[in-house]
Structure formats: C-alpha cells, structure tokens
C-alpha cells in the first residue's frame, strides 16, 4: 500500500503527465506567458462547462473575492454577511476593503450559512451576502436568493471548494455552483477540486455589466491601456496554469466521481458507528467532496487525530477556530458564546484523507483505524 496522503497530486499527475508536459512546454515555447491564448481558451471552456456567460480568470481565490466586492461598489462601512465557519479568505477581503464583516452562524447539518440567522442580521447598511459552499456542497441558494431579492443585496458565492457541483432549485432547474448569485468566485489552488500547479482563481457571472467591472478591476482599472477609469488591482491567471487547467477541466467530472466513491466507502463503513455523523447530503445539491468531514460525539477528537497521524493517516481540522474568534478579528467585537453552533462544530469536525487517487486498501486501512480508536 502506498503512503496515504491528505491530497495525492503526484499520482494524479502521472496519469496525465504526457499531456501536461506537452502543454506546459508549448506555453514556454510560445513565450505567451501572460494573457496568452491558453487563458482565453480556458475561460471559454470553463464558461461552457459551467453554462455561465462570463468567466474572468484572476490570480487566486482570495483576489476573486476581493475583486467581486469591489465590482459591486461596496464602500467602507458597508456590511457584508459571511459565515464564521469558513476559510479566513472570505472574511479577510471584507476587512481589507474596510467593509464590516457580519458573522453568521452555519447550519450544523450542511456546514453552510444559516439563512435565518443571516435574515436577523440584515440592516440598512447590508450590501451583500457571501455564502460559502463549504466542503463541496452548495448552500441553500433558494433561501439565499429569496432573501437577497427581498432586501436588494448582492450575492457572492464563494465556490472555492465546490467547483462543478450541481444545484437544483425548487422548480427543478439545475445550475452549477457559483453561477446562481450575482457573482461566483473560485480558486485553482493545487489541492482544490480543479487545481492548477501554482496559484489561480476566477470569477463567474451572467451579468454583462458586472463582468465588465470584474475585468476592468482585475486589470488596473483600465478598459483601454493606460487609461484608468478606477482604482483596480493586478490579478491575472498565467498561461502555464491555464494550460494545466484546460487539461484538468476535462477530467473534473471523473475526479468528482472518484471523490464520491471514496466518500461512499467512508459513509458505508461508519453508518453504524453512533459516535460518527457522516456528511449530510442536501437534496438540492450534489457534493464535490472537497473534504470528507465527519462530526464526532463522545470521542476525544484531538486524540483521534493524533492516533491517525501516528499511524500515517493524515487527518485535519477545517477549521479549528471560527473567524469571529480569531485574534486578528477581535475589533469586530465578537466573543466566545456568540455563535454556539459554529463554535461547537469547531470542536467536533475532522476531515479524513480525500482525493482522486485513494485506493480501497487505503480506505480500508483508514476506516479500520478510526473504528478501532472509537470502539477499542
């Protein structure tokens, strides 16, 4: 059995090595390193895959969120609703732009934003809501869009963990994650479900005006070279990364199937272990299983993590501290106890190895150790 990794990018690369090597060398040979044809082709192919009008590539998923907030015209003091149970990037860009993050609880089954709590935190200053499709499953977009339409606020979907996931609305219509709200953002960080071999990101929208803003902001606020209509930033996807992504996009559905097969194996093995709650599958979303995250009751979670690590099974906690309790975010005035559901989750969750290359031997070894620790 090969050593188990949290994410096995090397085995995945070996399966597409020839195609990748050729594509990367072609970019070098062309010297079209920035904004070359590979970037334009990738954007067009991702538009077709997602069935969305505009994909605007950028440098990373954090920039994508920042540019999205700039594109909707958010001004210092505006309030942005965001779950506290998320990766720091979501809240960080809000703070950086001198907007005010308003932390919202998550639903304990889905780990995504609690729309009732969001509703109770709307004020006249609320400018946008940023649902995060955490671990690969969509937030309840019907409820979010209904709230946003009623309150006239923007919806920016943080799709960094859920690219390719399908959302089905109450009328039975399907859309890809990130293509339902006003703007979707994603990351192509290597370990993401569609990852490149460095940094990368993108924004998605069906709105022509927002698309023009996103494009302009990510390119120094210029539409015409050296004419700067607004203050922007410099955020581009480079051509080598685009060439890698064009190849990996063709495999994305098959990668998602492999992740789902591993998730099914775990959930089947744990179904009678009462200390373990396996991931809840929402009726309105497919699951990309960016992470396979269990909740543990009456188990010393940290001791289990240590036991697994000692047995060469990398297991991780996403995320050990909610954003509202992070040291760097104390100025927003939250304190322990403000978000009981989120705070409880941070002590219960554990993510097991999840990637496209897990073998049955490895999965058996992992579940065997988890169950042995719990049942003795």
φ and ψ at residue 336, rounded to 5 degrees = -55, 135
Stretch that binds ligand PLP, among 48-56, 155-163, 271-279, 292-300 (CB under 6 A): 155-163
Count the Cβ atoms, other than its own, within 10 Å of residue 338: 15
CB of 316 to ligand PLP, least distance (A): 13
Q: What phi and psi, each to the nearest 5 degrees, are found at residue 233?
A: -150, 180
x/- map, 75-94, ligand PLP, by CB under 6 A: -----------xx-xx----
Q: CB of residue 301 vs ligand PLP: minimum separation in angstroms?
A: 21
158 binds ligand PLP (CB under 6 A): yes
To the nearest whole angstrom, how small is the minimum distance from the Cβ of residue 22 to ligand PLP? 26
CB of 162 to ligand PLP, least distance (A): 9
Question: CB 85 → ligand PLP: shortest distance, Å?
Answer: 10
Measured CA to CA, the distance from residue 65 to residue 158 in angstroms comes to: 7
| Cα 256 from chain centroid (whole Å) | 14
Q: Is 160 in the site for ligand PLP (CB under 6 A)?
A: yes
Which listed range, 153-161, 250-258, 275-283, 300-308, lies at the site for ligand PLP (CB under 6 A)? 153-161
Please give the C-alpha separations between residue 202 and each of 132, 251, 371, in angstroms, as whole numbers.
15, 18, 40
The position carrying tokens 């996807």 is: 237
For residue 152, the minimal CB distance to ligand PLP (Å) is: 25
Cβ-closest residue to ligand PLP? 61
Nearer to ligand PLP, 87 or 292 (CB): 87
Peptide bond into 345 cis (omega under 30): no
Q: Which is nearer to ligand PLP, 131 or 353 (CB)?
A: 131
CA distances from 38 to 15, 190, 225, 272 (A): 21, 18, 21, 49
Nearer to ligand PLP, 67 or 243 (CB): 67
Q: What angle do CA 180, 106, 191 make, to 5 degrees?
A: 65
Dihedral sign, Cα of residue 167, residue 171, residue 172, residue 175:
negative
Go through 82-106 and write b for each residue having 16 or more CB atoms within 10 A of its CB, e for each that does not. Answer: bbbbbbebbbbbbbebebbbbbbbb
Return the residue of 61, 136, 181, 232 that touches ligand PLP, per CB under 6 A: 61
60 sits near ligand PLP (criterion: CB under 6 A): yes
Which of 132, 175, 240, 243 touches ligand PLP (CB under 6 A)?
A: 132
Q: How far is the CB of 360 from ligand PLP (least distance, A)?
A: 28
Residues 320, 326, 330: CA angle, nearest 5 degrees = 160
Cα–Cα distance between 272 and 293 in angstroms, integer?
17
**Closer residue to ligand PLP (CB): 90 or 285:** 90
Main-chain dihedrals φ then ψ at residue 87, nearest 5 degrees = -70, 145
Binding pattern for the stretch 161-200 against ligand PLP, x by CB under 6 A and - elsewhere: x-------------------------x-x---------x-
Q: Which of 136, 181, 184, 201 binds ligand PLP (CB under 6 A)?
A: 201
Binding site for ligand PLP (CB under 6 A): 60-62, 86-87, 89-90, 132, 158, 160-161, 187, 189, 199, 201
């Amino acid at each position: 059995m090969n050593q188990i990794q949290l994410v096995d990018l090397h085995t995945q690369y070996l399966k597409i090595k020839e195609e990748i090597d050729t594509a990367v060398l072609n970019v070098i040979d062309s010297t079209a390193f920035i904004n070359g044809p590979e970037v334009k082709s990738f954007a067009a192919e991702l538009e077709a895959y997602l069935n969305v009008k505009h994909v605007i590539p950028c440098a990373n998923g954090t920039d994508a969120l920042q540019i999205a907030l700039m594109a909707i015209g958010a001004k210092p003091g505006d309030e942005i609703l965001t779950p506290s149970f998320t990766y720091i990037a979501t809240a960080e860009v809000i703070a950086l732009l001198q907007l005010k993050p308003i932390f919202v609880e998550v639903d304990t089954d889905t780990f995504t934003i609690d729309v009732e709590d969001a509703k109770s935190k709307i004020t006249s200053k609320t400018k946008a809501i940023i649902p995060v499709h955490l671990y690969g499953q969509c937030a309840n977009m019907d409820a979010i869009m209904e709230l946003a339409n009623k309150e006239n606020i923007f919806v920016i979907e943080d799709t960094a963990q859920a690219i390719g996931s399908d959302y089905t609305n109450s009328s039975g219509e399907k859309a890809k994650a990130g293509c339902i709200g006003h703007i979707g953002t994603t990351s192509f960080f290597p370990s993401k479900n569609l990852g490149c071999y460095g940094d990368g990101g993108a924004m998605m929208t069906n709105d022509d005006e927002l698309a023009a803003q996103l494009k302009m902001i990510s390119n120094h606020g210029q539409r015409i070279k050296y004419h700067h209509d607004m203050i922007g930033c410099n955020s581009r996807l480079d051509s080598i990364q685009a060439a890698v992504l064009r190849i990996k996009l063709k495999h994305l559905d098959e990668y998602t199937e492999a992740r789902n097969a591993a998730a099914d194996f775990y959930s089947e093995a744990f179904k009678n272990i009462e200390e373990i709650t396996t991931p809840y599958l929402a009726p309105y979303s497919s699951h990309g299983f960016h992470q396979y995250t269990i909740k543990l009751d009456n188990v010393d979670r940290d001791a289990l993590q240590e036991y697994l690590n000692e047995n060469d099974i990398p297991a991780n906690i996403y995320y050990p501290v909610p954003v509202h309790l992070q040291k760097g975010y104390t100025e927003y005035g939250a304190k322990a106890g403000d978000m009981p559901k989120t705070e409880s989750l941070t002590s219960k969750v554990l993510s097991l190895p999840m990637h496209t290359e897990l073998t049955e031997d490895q999965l058996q070894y992992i579940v065997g150790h988890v169950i042995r620790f719990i049942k003795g």
